[in-house]
Amino acid sequence: MSTPAEPPPTTPAKPPAKASARRTAAPPKVAGPAAPAAVPVEVASAVPVPVTGATTLAIDIGGTGIKASVLDAGGVMLVDRVRVPTPYPLPPDRLVATLVKLVGALPAFDRVSAGFPGMVRGGVVLSSPHFVTASGPGTKVVPDLVKAWQRFDLAAALTLALGKPARVANDADLQGAEVVSGKGLEVVITLGTGLGTALFDNGHLLPHMELAHHPFRKGEDYDEQVGEEARKRIGDKKWSKRVARAVQTIDALLFFDHLYVGGGNSHRLTVELGDRVTIVDNVAGITGGIKLWDV
């Protein structure tokens, strides 16, 4: 597995001031079990780490799991990640409460970065395909959840709940900012609950596209064809061939110079994807959090 060079800083916009169209008040509640307790992904080091400069709470919100850690000023994790399964149903207020509980055992932090699996602009959620369902992807869409998530200002809600300034971006954009080399047109895809995508031109993040919901094959979109539900249904071998075809289709569309594959299912691939494709560690979804504050 190759390791791409450190990209030049991206320049994300600060979350805009609240507008009347944005909602941070508690949306309609949807009954569900209490949020599960956080558990370490790995055994945390007992050796204290000296901290200088601003520290960043980095959160990777996924359709299957939610992870978090605290980064030092250089983007290095001060402790191992903690993780909980993503609870469903998941209206905004429950997500925020789950995050508050998850980070309770982590070291102190000065600011917050969060990657979200949907379209996000200025910290405001414009789409939330996983979290509008009753029990996760592939289950019934709940109208009350659609209404609850519509233009929800997640950055403002996290700022209020955690008491620190927060920024929120698409999760693939965040991961991509950590791994791209800054040379040419680079594409990042994440393989997890669904398919995440991010595009960079000479290290500069391009406007986000929800390619996951674009028609791919057999009348289904990328999420439906290469997401976690499809992988479990058809097995890793057939799923890997679909991913390879998806990469070929994306190349035909964008003529990328390099493509990076991340996400929790990237290690399940059983096929070679070519010289212009690099598999990257999913931890970039956390360490990329520092890039939201590189202004």
Give the pLDDT confidence score for residue 256 in this predicted structure: 98
> What is the per-residue pLDDT for 57?
98
**Contact yes or no for 106/79 (Cβ under 8 A):** yes
**Residue-level pLDDT at 49:** 52
Q: Closest Cα partner for 293 from 178, 126, 182?
A: 178
Amino acid identity at 186? E
Angle between helices 154-162 and 92-102 (to 10 degrees): 40
Which segments of the chain does DSSP mark as H helices, in order? 92-102, 143-149, 154-162, 171-179, 222-226, 228-234, 236-254, 284-287
Reading the chain (295 residues) residue by residue, the pLDDT tens digits are 444 444 444 444 444 444 444 555 444 444 454 544 544 444 344 344 555 689 999 999 999 999 999 999 999 999 999 999 999 999 999 999 999 999 999 999 999 999 999 999 999 999 999 999 999 988 999 999 999 999 999 999 999 999 999 999 999 999 999 999 999 999 999 999 999 999 999 999 999 998 988 999 999 999 999 999 999 999 999 999 999 999 999 999 999 999 999 999 999 999 999 999 999 998 999 999 999 998 5
Look-up of token digits 């998530």? 149
215 CB neighbour count, 10 Å cutoff: 11
- What pLDDT does residue 4 have? 44
CA distance 131 to 118: 9
The whole-number pLDDT of residue 52 equals 67
User: What does the pLDDT read at residue 10?
Assistant: 43
pLDDT of residue 253: 95
Q: What is the pLDDT of residue 50?
A: 57
- H or E element at residue 167: strand 166-170
Q: What is the pTM of this model?
A: 0.80
pLDDT at position 51? 58
Q: Residue 16 has what pLDDT?
A: 43
Place of tokens 């927060």: 166
